[in-house]
Every structure is written in structure tokens, then in C-alpha cells.
Structure 1
Amino acid sequence: MAPEKRILARATRRNVLAATVLGAMTPVGVGIGMALRTESGSGSAPVKPHASPDMSTAGPSGTWAASGPQPETTESIVQIVAHPDDDLFFINPEVGQSLRSGRPLATIYLTSGESNGVNGPREGAGRGGPRPVRDKHKFTKARQNGIRAAYAEMVTGQPGHPWQRSVIATAGGGQAELDTLRGYPHIQLVWTLLHEAGSIRGDRPHSLHGLWEGRVGVLGSQLAHGGVVTRDFSYSREQLIQTLTGYLERFRPTQVRMQNPTPGRLDRNLRCSDHQDHRFGARFVQQALARYAASGSRPHFTVQTYMGYFNGGLPRALDPASGASKARTLETYSWSADTSQGSCTDPAGCGDLKVAAHPKPRWSHSIHHAGDSGTDWLLAGKDDSLWAFAVLDGRIAHWHRPAEAAGSGGRRSPSRWTGPVFQAESGMDTGVRPVALPDGRIAVFGTRTLLGEQSGAAYRREAGFIVQQAPGESFGPWQSLGSPELSDEVGTNDISSPAVVVHDDGTMAVFLRDSSHQLTARMRQTDGTWTPWRGLGGKAVHSDPVAATDRTGRAYVLAATPHSVLAWVQDSPGAKVRGPLATGLPATTLPLTVRRDDDGVRVFYRAPDSGHVCSAGLHADALAPSPADPGRVRRSSSTHRSTGAHRSPAVTDLGGAGGYGPVSAAPDGRGTVLLAARTATGDVATAWAARGTARRRPQWNQTGVLPAGAPASAVLASGGVVLAMLGLDSRLYWTHAPRGGGRLAPWQPTEPTTAGRSRA
């Protein structure tokens, strides 16, 4: 079954599915107001925390959140999703990773997820017996009960651990329910209690979709049976943005997790690939983030977006233990365990039986970031100066470490990092790509979202870049390259982060995956002008493209489909880009990293079902024209073979501690490469590996540090390798090692710790 068919088959089982964004809490609320009324969990005796359940193949990283005061950390995570359970389906296992590590975390649910009010499978599906009574208030309460049980179990090991429930006034003039886990004041849930659309794609004006487009003036509330919020309310578009901005001001996040605002359309029937509540809820979050970023004193923050329904049609990114753990959490939420049915005393029910009818969709064994930082955001100059780039507060930020200065007696004086330094332009999407130009300047490419300020106003994304005015100097303003997309209605502005090739003659090529899941490009010519966007073909491309040049200057562009990896080649500056070409590589979990190799290029990726890091060498002469359909690849956690028509390249399995996402790779020129990648517990692990085929897997060492995005690395001209990551506190961390497998120095931040690191 094609990926989009599998998605539709699962999506139609339920009217509403949603994603959650975790968030953090500070003692003082801004814009939400004081608690009006509280309801405690069962009992008032002090609650003793239980041991954290094992949720992955490796032990928990960071400091476990013991009962008592909020952990000492500058990190604060806020997750904002459309429906209860979107966090469990689409953001977990990162939910559990953050909970186990002791980070302050708040999850905000926009709608109540009341669906059709029937807490049970559709007629003729699942269990027998009479159809449950339709009651939207009770189904709302049942889903809340399931979420509370799932979170409590992830933290304490006990789904029945009590919560403190209270009413809070919102900045938009309504009310919300705030739940705090007893004994863990840094773990909170916020129920905004708005109506859901009640249909994945149907015409439902009384919804987030209709409110965004101005088809309705207000969106009303959907209260829970016996809930602490008892007064109905409604929000206009502006009031909802005010409410979300108020949440951000209260919880002061250093990372925001949200759903994908540009999910794209299915190839088979051009329908939107995700729920309308996911898409337009995320756009309201974008509006609130833009307003919050322009506000007064606050911490810097990163943003991570997560793929929704389409995630179920892609190769599984999680190892078996992590997938099973995620599925167990979903079983707790769905109230499907045999022992839990008789223990529920709430007349509304204690979970979502619609999920229980289909307890293990492929969503439970995978996770895919809709936008990622990639691994190509760190540059080393010929003088060993370092430049790092990221998106903070919706703007491009950079850090700089000058070359070490020569001192008396031949000693070199260590230089210090400066930054972050911000560009003026807002609305930048996660994931920027810096490149060194032949004249010594740096250009930084990315995509930007332009939000319409009024109902129905144009929403669009564009590619573009900034460039230094002179080597080592400040960057000029954003230069737009437009977009290959015709309109938001056609493709929902679903474009990838760019891949960039720079030639010695100053010409460049910028590559994007467009909403038709093909590769497109714009070329910078010798006279400085840019060609229009041109389609380069391909089928079912769903990864961000990556690019590298080999030792002859030939450029390679790679992009992953659900079944293999496609390649495009530009043999010389100004030459026509040829492709797509079949690489013969097996299925990957999508994110790719490509580096120059002794002969051609070498690609690094993750194997499905295990998260193992793999690598393979590619050469243009061995690539064959791609058939119309690259063909399915046999999926196996133990073997990795292609069914392509030509001989597959040799693949080296480099192991690793599970995990998902892009792999950082820095070949040091002496036959070894420094690898860095996210593990199954969410922290970063590193390993020195031999280039090419190796008989033994390298030893991986975990750092215990949870990153925001993927790590990046660079090789110094004088020898040695530098590795960097962005922490969940939005600070840049770095380490270094000598060439040839040397030991990494201790990780350290590039800037000192300050209270909140607030923007003035």
C-alpha cells in the first residue's frame, strides 16, 4: 500500500487526532491571571515519587525530577498541539525524554478533541455490544483523564498519581484548566477547551480553520463533564492569539514544540496530508510566537515542528524498545489495558477508547521532525576561526570564535566566542545552511514564513539568504529567492530547507523539495543573476535535500524517498543538473548527511527500525537513471539490502545507541570520522569511526546533554575537529578533539550562564 493510502486508512478511523507541545512553567504568570478555583487530586497527603519507567534501550540522561522544588535549570519546554493525544502520537518519545530529565515542561491543548462524543470504536469495529451514548462533555473528560494518566505514568510509574487542577483566566478573556502533577510542580497541562473541527478535511467553518480564514468571527468552548471550568466562552482570532501569547509569557520557554503548519498534500489525491486542526492550530501558534518574540524581557527560544499523519507512512524511526515504550504510553492513554477497565470510577471514562480500538498504528513506532536544524550549520575558516548559525526567537543568529592570536614566545592566546548576534528579519524557519563563498565571505540560506496579520490574509513561505558585506564583517539584509510554490491553497507552502552548492567561479545552485515531492532549483549565474525555479524531477521525495562536492568539483545532491535515496549530479559549474539517479541505497529514516570522500561522496543516514548509523560511498559513474518508481526496499532490522536493478553500494553499519534524526560527520583527513547523533534517550552520543568499510563497530559515548536539533561538526585547518550543539536552554555548546580519534574535551557553553538569558 502506498504511504498516502496507509495514512488515509488510519486517519479515517477517527475524526480527530492531534499533537502536543510540552512546555515549562515559571512561578509567576503573565497574561493568564490568578487561579480562580482549584480541585485537588485524590487525597492530600504528600506524594512520594516512584521510579521512572524504562522507556528506551539506554538509561535516562540528565537529572531525574525528584519530588520537591522545581529543578535548577534554565531550560523550559512548551508544547502546543491541537488535540489531546497529538503529543503522544507525534512528539513522543521526546515527551518522555524531557519528563525523565527533570526539565520544566508544559503541554498546551488547543481543542478539547470531543470528536462525535462517542467514546468507543465506530459501529462494526472493535468490541461488540451496544454503541456508547453520544456525549461530547464526557468524551472530553475521558480524554483528559487518559492524558493525565499517561503523563503521570511517564513521570512516576503510576498512572493514578494525583494532579492539582485549577482554573486560570486567559489573556484572551476566557478560562482554561491548569493541571499540575502533585509533587512535581514543573510538570503542567493546560486545557484551552475550544471546539475541534470534528472532521479531518471536511468543511467545518466553526473550527480553527474557519477562525483563521475569517469564516466565523468567534470559536466557542467545549467544556468537560464535571470540569473545573464551568463557564462557556468564545475567542475571536485576535483573542486566541492573545491567549497563546499569554501562555508563552507565563511559561517563558527556551524551546517550543508544535505541529506542522505546512503539511503538504498527498500525491494520490491532492488532499491535505494532515488534520485541519493540526495545520491551522500551528499557524495560530506561529502568530503568537511572532508576537511573543517581539515582546520585552524573555529567554531566547528555539522552535521544533513535528510531522503529523504522514509520519505513519514513512519508515519507522524508533528502535523496537523505544517504539514499544511509546505504544505502552498510548495504551495507558487509551484506557485499553485489561486491568484498567474495572478500576475507573469516573462516569465519563478514563481514556480514549477510539484509540483503544486500534492500539498500535505505525505512529507509535516513529517520529519525524517536519523542520530540522540539519548538521551543516557550523563553519571553520582557513585560519581556524569558527562560525555557528541557528534560528533563535524566529531570527537568524550567529556565534563567532576568532582565530587564536599569536603571543610572546610563540604561544597562542585562546580566543572567546561572541554571540548570539541577531539579524533583523523575523519569521525564519528552523534550519539554516551557511556556505563559504570563493571571496571569503559567508552566505546563510534558509526559508522564511510571512504571516498575514488579518483574517484571510496571504500566508506564504520563501527561500532566501543573507551574505556578509565583507569577509568577517556583519551580514546584509535578507534577499528573497521566492518559492517554487504557486499558492498556499495549491501545496500548503510545503517546501524543505535548502541545500546549496557553491562553485569556484562564484556560481551557486539552491535546491528545495517542493510540495509535489520533487526537487527544484535556482541557479546563480556568473553575472550574479538568478534563473527561475526549475523542476528537476524525482518521485516521493520527503527529506530535506543535502549537497556536497567531490575532489573534482562535481556536485552531488541527495534526497530520500520512503524506499531509497535519489541523487542528482552537476558535473561542472554551469552544467545541466542530471537526475534523478538511483543510488541503490535501502530505505532510510529520511534525514541524510553527505560529505566529500576519497572517491566521490559518502552519505550517512539512520537504518529504519533500529536507529543504527550507516554510511555508504557514492560515485557519479556508478549511479543509474532512476526508474519511474525506485521500487520498494525490503524492510528488516537485521539486513539492509536494496531491490534496485543495479548493484547496491556497500553499506557500513556503525551501530549507535538507537535514536533518530540527522547524523553529524567530520572526516578528519586521517582515515577517521567523528560522528555525533541523538540517542534513544534523547542525548547526544559521539564515536570515532574508520572511513569506508569497517570490520568492527565503533564505541559510542553518551554525553547526557539533550540537544535542540542535531549536532554539527567542522575540521580545523591546523588539525583537530570541533563539535557543537544547541542546548534546550537555547545556548550554544562546543567541544574539540585532535585528529585521529583523540579524546573530546569537556563540553562547555560559548557564553556564561545568566539568569534567564533574557532579551532586554
Structure 2
Amino acid sequence: MTSRRPAGLATRLATVPSAVRRGLLVATPVAVLLGITGGVLVATTGSSDASDVPSRGVPEALAVKPVRTSGESVVQFMAHPDDDLFFMNPDTSQSIASGRSLTSVYLTAGESDGRNNRRGDPRRPADKAAYAEARQNGIRAAYAEMATGDRTSPWDRTEITIDGGARAELNTLRSRPQISLVWLQLKEAGTVADERPNSLHGLWDGKTGTLGSQLAAGSPVREDFAYTREQVVATIDGVLRRFRPTFVRMLDPTPGLNERTGRTSDHQDHTYGARFVQAALARYAGRPGRPAFGVQSYLGYSTGSLPHSLDPGTFEAKLRTLKTYAWMDHTDYCEDPAGCGDRKVAGRPAGRNWAQSIRYARSGSTSWVQPGAHAGELYAFGVLDGRLAVWHRPGKAAKWAGPVLQEGAGLDGGVVPVRLPDGRISVYGTRTDLGGAGGGYRREVAVTTQASPGGVFGPWRSLGSPQPGDAGAGADISMPAVVVDRAGMAAVYVRDGRHAMSMTVQRPDGGFAPWQPAGGRELRGDPVAAVDATGRGHVFAATPKTVLTWTHPATPTPASPSSPSLPMATGLPPTTVALSAAPDGKDGVRLWFREPVSGDARSARFTGGGRPVGPVTEVPGGRSGHGAVVSAPDRGGLALRGRPGGLATAPAPGRPWTGGGGPLFSGAPATAPGGVAALTLDGRLTWTPWHP
């Protein structure tokens, strides 16, 4: 049954141009207007995009070249209005500042109980359409302020038809038409974890056949609707086809359980909204003629229980945006009786310690560039279109070529390559099986290995999972950390859904033993590993309070067949969880991390035995930011994500930092002899040589 909805006021919204009323994309000509093309980066940074020839060692028969990109285009999906402001900022504001295309898509109306009240406000009657409208007004104000400095900068607001027949609301910022908001306006669950069949969770699990709409009071979409599970996937696929992203942001589809309560650690709309996005991305990846795309997922509620990852200046900027959304001054600047923002957030604009941090779920390794079999040869690995992407440089003086995509879909963002003693490379990652008719959602670890040094990569082999299936926290596994001993056998470590370490070891026949517990508790984020010059492996994993470490023998013996030590407490202070490790000297490795609150880089040296050798080292110049810190293997230089979001480097200890405000990139940078690599948000590899 359909019904007409009142249009509402929202008089700050301008008259819709006729081209927009016809459903044409306002942001389509932006790349031309801004001069954004898919060309090669200049200055000291080389790049390789999808127009290059396939690299040696990657067979044409096992590769598909993605089309050439036409400029960075980010599409981010949220379950509710404000998920982006709490969990994806400052990445969202950095995309806005970059001048590139950004589209934010909100799956539900976020109508809650329909009361736009904070404690102490006069109690308002429940009106879900009005509350949904107020939240929309708050988001428009927050984005306008991030883009122009003026929260009242006008938007064009129209109804559009998405491929597949869905109706949605499109908002385009008039002064910055490359910034768009899309409102799908499905009903929200209305509860974090309680069973609510009429929700995205219920629709995903088949507990309801359709999920209806909750239209905002002023929405140009006037007819109520209801979508099946298939129609939600088709609608998100239609959004992707319309906006053609080169990079997609979403919340974590497998957040695991809260250790204290035993219930989900995130809002069910966050989790199952992200799974609908995953299903649509899998469909979209099979469509021809689109740009290649990368994906990044973000922690939601659980990031609030971890040490703060943002420096004070970045946090204050993020909080200002949230206060604009929350309508803190409570003045009628938007002239809409529904309200100009979300007063529920006004009572706690930083959330439950959410605004002080940003964290990537399974963000990948810092060792995704590896030497090849020949002098100066390098390989780089990433994930595009849910498949392994390979770049190749045959020699020091040669140019990078690639990417080419390997067979095998469903890879999660980020991979962990390791070099074997005979010169071959193995690449480990996790992949998601969405299930389908009669099947269950699950994630597993998988590996592909070159058939010979410099040769082709074979098919993916499943290593399974420490906790098969999706019951409880079964799908919540980290990226793997991998140690290869001198016999060429791998030990694979994964943080499992119980927040403990699990491992599997490779057998002499090349197969892997069943997963077994490896100890530890309250582990967070991805474990990391490094092998020292003696061949001994070191594995590190963070907890909210410190870092734990495991050591692995250099060569297995009958009495010790690749068995690790029990976890040992390092005594390190809390970190922001993102870790990296690299060989250091003749008998040790160095662990790199960031200090909470400041975001400054720190390091500690380990030679086995659990405790660091010497004091924690402070990196001169600080360079606050978020994410992993990466050291150079040949000169002691450092690379990291700077506070503005771009790549920052220091070529040697004590040398000045440069950069930080360049192109935005995904995951973490990687270093190799001679330079630093990063994967930008338009799917390209950039290579920055170290300078004297």
C-alpha cells in the first residue's frame, strides 16, 4: 500500500535544475571541469595505472585487465546518517578537501523512535518522518561546512530512479557538484542487537520477505515502497553503476562479539548493511566497462573501547563537524519545522569515544611490495574488484607495469605476500563467501604461490578458518601474519573471533595442519610478523593495553615442528593498534607503532624473550596521523600517512619529513630498496624514490 507524503519546507534547498529533475547526474562533468584524467603522475612520483601492459610473471590467461580509470571517485555506504561522521572521518573530510568526486549513500532513514530530543530539551512528540528529515538536514549542513565553510550552502534535492527501478533521493551541493548524498530511506532496526525481523538483518537472514521505507518529511520521494533482499542488492548495484567508484568505503561486515556482553560489538544495521554492500559489489565487479575499484571497511562501535588514534587537532576538527550535525546551537537557521540536525547526538557529540579515533578493519600488510627473483626486480600486490592485483617492475631502471588481476574473486581488502627461500612469492589473504541460496556467510584464509621464481601464480588454496561459519564471532578473523622458516614452511597466525590467536603450520607435503589455539586474549586489529637475520620469526598483536609477542624457530626440528612460543607480554604501553615490523640488525626486529592521542611514531627493538631491548624510541619530528608506520629495508627511512591524509616520508633517521598532503591512498604504504609505494584511491600504484 502506498501513500502520499507531505513535502515539508527546508527552504534553504534551491530549485532543482531541469537536468537533475530528468534524473541526470549533476556530478558527471566534474572530472572534465577539474582536469582530472587517468594519466601518469608527474614530479618525483611514478605511477602505473590499469592502461599498462601485463607484468612478466602474470599470465594473460589468468589475468583480466581492468579498464583505465577516469579520475578518483569515492562512494561510501553507511547504514545511518552520522556513521560517516563518527567512523569514516577524517577520511571523508580529506576526500572533500581533495576536490575529487565523493558520494555518500545512506541505506536507512535513521528514524529511531522519531523524537529529536536531547536531555533537557522540551519533549517532542514522536514523528519519524520529521526526525529522518532533521538528520538529513544535519548531514547536509555538516558536508556543506566541510566543503565550503558555510553550513547553509545550498543543495539541489531531487528524486532519481536507480537502475532496477528503485527510487531514491539525490542531493548535490550546488557550489561543489562533485559532492553528492544519496538517501535510500529504508527502515532502520531501531535496536542495536535485539532481534527485529523487520530490519536489514531480518531481510538478509530471510526472517522477513520485504523491508519497507521511512521517507523523510521533506523528501522529493513521495511514494512509500518495500524492497526484497534481491531488490536491495540490485539498488546498491544501481548506485555503483551510476557513480562508477574507483574506491568504496563501508562499515565492517564482521565486527565480532563484545567480550563483556557476548553480544554483537556493533549495530546490526552497520553489519548487515555492509553485507548488502558486499553482495552488490560482487555483482558490480562482473559488469564490463567500469573502472577498477578498491574497498576499505571501518570499525564501528568497537573502536570506542580502544586507545584514541587521532591527534588533538584532527579530533577537534572532526568534533566541530559532529557538532554542526548535532545542531548544537539549536537556532532555526534551516527554517524547517523538522529541525536542522540530530539533537540526540547533541547530548554526546563525540559519541562513546568514537570521534577520537578512526580504524580500518583488516587493512592489509605493510609488506605488500616484495623483491623478485632478479636484481632490482619488484612485485607489488593489492586487491581490486575483489581479486588479486599484481604490479611488476623487472629491474631497477625499468618502469612499473600493471595491474593485472588474477583469477579468484571474493578477496577482502589487503593481502600479505611473503618471499620463500627459493625466490618464489606466496600471497596470503582472506576471502568472503556470501553464501547464497541455502548457504551461510563465512570468511576463510587462502594462499596463492608462484609455480617457480618469477613464474605464474597458481590457483588459490583454502586454509579454512579457525572458526568456520558465521555462528557467534566465526566470521571475525583478522588478516593473516605469516612467518616462513629456513625450510620454506609457513606458519600462519590469525586473530580469531574470540580475540585470541590461532595458527596453522605448513606440512612437508605443502598442505596445512588444522587450526589450533596459539594463546593470547583481548587481541585487536591485525597481527604482524617479521623474520630476523638468524631466521627466527617474531609475531606481534595489540591489545587495548599493550602488545603481545610470539617467537617462531628458524628451522623446525622433530622435537619442535614449527611450533611457536606461548604469547609473551612486551611491557609496551598502549598503542593505536596499527602495527608493523621489520628486520633490524643481525639478530632482531623492530616493531613500529603510534602513540595514542598524539599519533606520533614510536619503535622498539626485539631479539626474542618478549621484552624489548632498550627503550622505546621516539621518532624525531613526530608526524602525527593514523595508520601504520613503515620502515625502509635499506636505509632506515620511514613512510606513513600524514595528518592531511597523503604520504609522508623521512629518507633516513633524523632527516626532515616531506609530503603528507599528496594524493590520498588506501591501506598502508610499503617500502622496498630504493623507494616507497602507495595505492591511490583511483586504483594506481605510485612509486616515490628515496632522495639523499
Q: Is 1:592 the counterpart of 2:579 in the alignment?
A: yes
Partner of residue 459, structure 1: 441
| 1:605-754 equivalent positions in 2, closer than 5 A | 605-621=593-609, 623=610, 649-668=615-634, 672-690=635-653, 698-702=656-660, 704-715=662-673, 721-737=674-690, 742-743=691-692
Q: Is 1:319 the counterpart of 2:302 in the alignment?
A: no
| Pair 1:554–1:535, CA change in 2 (3 A) | same
1:94 shift after superposition: 0.7
Partner of residue 357, structure 1: 347
| Pair 1:360–1:285, CA change in 2 (3 A) | same
Partner of residue 568, structure 2: 581
Question: In the alignment, residue 127 of structure 1 is paired with which amino acid?
Answer: G
| Pair 1:239–1:191, CA change in 2 (3 A) | same
1:699 shift after superposition: 3.2
Could you tell me how far apart the structure 2 residues matched to 1:483 and 1:42 are? 51
Question: In the alignment, residue 360 of structure 1 is paired with which amino acid?
Answer: A
Q: Is 1:370 the counterpart of 2:323 in the alignment?
A: no
- Between stretches 366-375 and 77-86, larger displacement belongs to 366-375
Could you tell me how far apart the structure 1 residues matched to 2:35 and 2:113 are? 41
Partner of residue 222, structure 2: 230
Could you tell me how far apart the structure 1 residues matched to 2:196 and 2:451 are? 50
Task: Tell whether the 8 Å contact from 1:146 to 1:335 is kept in structure 2 after alignment.
Answer: yes
| 1:47-196 equivalent positions in 2, closer than 5 A | 69=33, 72-73=36-37, 74-121=71-118, 126-127=119-120, 130-196=122-188
Indicate the SS of the match to 1:137.
Answer: helix
1:653 shift after superposition: 3.2
Could you tell me how far apart the structure 2 residues matched to 1:40 and 1:304 are? 36
Residue of 410, 433, 446 corresponding to 1:450: 433
| 1:365-404 equivalent positions in 2, closer than 5 A | 365-381=356-372, 382-403=374-395
- Between stretches 532-541 and 166-175, larger displacement belongs to 166-175
Task: Tell whether the 8 Å contact from 1:39 to 1:164 is kept in structure 2 after alignment.
Answer: no
Q: Is 1:415 the counterpart of 2:398 in the alignment?
A: yes
RMSD, aligned α-carbons: 2.3
Q: Is 1:304 the counterpart of 2:314 in the alignment?
A: no
Question: In the alignment, residue 226 of structure 1 is paired with which amino acid?
Answer: G
| Pair 1:133–1:602, CA change in 2 (3 A) | same
Task: Tell whether the 8 Å contact from 2:391 to 2:400 is kept in structure 1 after alignment.
Answer: yes
Question: In the alignment, residue 621 of structure 2 is paired with which amino acid?
Answer: G
| Pair 1:42–1:144, CA change in 2 (3 A) | closer
1:658 shift after superposition: 1.7
1:47-73 alpha-carbon deviations (Å, 9 max, x no partner): xxxxxxxxxxxxxxxxxx999945625
- Between stretches 186-195 and 169-178, larger displacement belongs to 169-178
Could you tell me how far apart the structure 1 residues matched to 2:652 and 2:250 are? 35
Q: Percent identity?
A: 50
1:97 shift after superposition: 0.4
Indicate the SS of the match to 1:210.
Answer: helix
1:339-371 alpha-carbon deviations (Å, 9 max, x no partner): x42434211011111100112231111100012
1:247 shift after superposition: 0.4
Partner of residue 603, structure 1: 591
Partner of residue 55, structure 2: none
Indicate the SS of the match to 1:462.
Answer: strand
Q: Is 1:514 the counterpart of 2:467 in the alignment?
A: no
| 1:476-491 equivalent positions in 2, closer than 5 A | 476-491=458-473
Question: In the alignment, residue 711 of structure 1 is paired with which amino acid?
Answer: P
Question: In the alignment, residue 569 of structure 2 is paired with which amino acid?
Answer: A
Partner of residue 532, structure 2: 550
Question: In the alignment, residue 77 of structure 2 is paired with which amino acid?
Answer: I
Question: What count of residue pairs does the alignment treat as equivalent?
Answer: 634
Task: Tell whether the 8 Å contact from 1:127 to 1:357 is kept in structure 2 after alignment.
Answer: no
Task: Tell whether the 8 Å contact from 2:362 to 2:525 is kept in structure 1 after alignment.
Answer: no
1:634-666 alpha-carbon deviations (Å, 9 max, x no partner): xxxxxxxxxxxx997433233343210111211
Could you tell me how far apart the structure 2 residues matched to 1:265 and 1:149 are? 34
1:453 shift after superposition: 2.2
Task: Tell whether the 8 Å contact from 1:259 to 1:282 is kept in structure 2 after alignment.
Answer: yes
What TM-score do you get using the length of structure 2 for normalisation?
A: 0.88
1:91-129 alpha-carbon deviations (Å, 9 max, x no partner): 0111100101101000000000000101113xxxx215x
Could you tell me how far apart the structure 1 residues matched to 2:12 and 2:410 are? 41
Question: In the alignment, residue 505 of structure 1 is paired with which amino acid?
Answer: A
1:139 shift after superposition: 0.2
Could you tell me how far apart the structure 2 residues matched to 1:67 and 1:160 are? 25
1:457-497 alpha-carbon deviations (Å, 9 max, x no partner): 31000001001112111111100000001420221500000
| Pair 1:218–1:288, CA change in 2 (3 A) | same
Partner of residue 341, structure 1: 331
What TM-score do you get using the length of structure 1 for normalisation?
A: 0.80
| Pair 1:714–1:43, CA change in 2 (3 A) | closer
Could you tell me how far apart the structure 1 residues matched to 2:341 and 2:112 are? 14
| 1:259-338 equivalent positions in 2, closer than 5 A | 259-336=251-328, 338=329
| Pair 1:349–1:180, CA change in 2 (3 A) | same
Could you tell me how far apart the structure 2 residues matched to 1:263 and 1:485 are? 14
Task: Tell whether the 8 Å contact from 1:40 to 1:163 is kept in structure 2 after alignment.
Answer: no
| Pair 1:120–1:647, CA change in 2 (3 A) | farther
Could you tell me how far apart the structure 1 residues matched to 2:399 and 2:33 are? 35
Question: In the alignment, residue 248 of structure 2 is paired with which amino acid?
Answer: V
